[in-house]
Amino acid sequence: MSNTYAFPKKYGDFTDYNSQSEWNELFDMAGNLFSNAVTVPVLGNHDRTFGTNYTKYKFPDPPTDDDDPTKGIEYTYAFEYGAALFMVIRVDDSSMLQTIAEWMKEQVNNSDKPWKIVAFHEALYSAGSHLSEQANARKVLSPVFDRLGIDLVLQGHDHTYSRSIVAGDGSKVTPVSVDGSPNKVFDPDAPI
């Protein structure tokens, strides 16, 4: 079996405090990986909250012109690979959720890829402790994911492993596995 992969994805929080020393440590440890593979980064809250070092490290640049395809949504981008359309979005700014939904619709409509994958940092679906932080984004984007036929949602932030099938209204419809332990759930009513 091969140990190769197309590209690593990181769902945010490359650092704790966005300090130069933490970025140096990351590149010291993962420099070989970053030198030999395209990395698909998702900007996390720790990467943007405590400073501006992230702008040095190849996150997609914020839009600068009026005709930018991301419609002014910072650190949002899409690409196709194999049979999949990947969309990396931000869900932490409630004022941009409708714009994000429109942008995602355009991406899906302009792609012929059968698999549609969305990645972001702050969790919409989780058994972790941050679930309530993005309740509005979950309410707005869950129906959009359903309408657009999103096949997979990848997210970070909670530092837990969860998997489920989620209904279009954001409610869970299958059993949950958290941290590899079947039915270990922090909030059994959480929309995981």
Domain coordinates in residue numbering, the chain: 1-59, 66-192
Evaluate if residue 189 carries a pLDDT over 50.
Answer: no
> In which band, very low, low, confident or very high, does the pLDDT at 115 lie, cut at 50, 70 and 90?
very high
Contact in structure between 141 and 125 (CB atoms under 8 Å) = no
Kind and range of the H or E run holding 81: strand 77-81
Number of Cβ atoms within 10 Å of the Cβ of 48: 20
pLDDT of residue 1: 37
- Helix/strand/coil for 77: strand
The CATH class of the 66-192 domain is alpha beta
Query: 189 or 149: whose pLDDT is higher?
Result: 149
Q: What's the pLDDT band for 85 if we cut at 50, 70, 90?
A: very high
3-class DSSP assignment, residue 118? strand
The DSSP output letter for 75 is T
Q: How confident is the prediction for the chain on average, in pLDDT?
A: 74
Name the pLDDT band for 36 (thresholds 50, 70, 90).
Answer: confident
Residue 149 has pLDDT above 80, yes or no: yes
Considering only CA atoms, which of 163, 178, 157 is closest in space to residue 43? 157
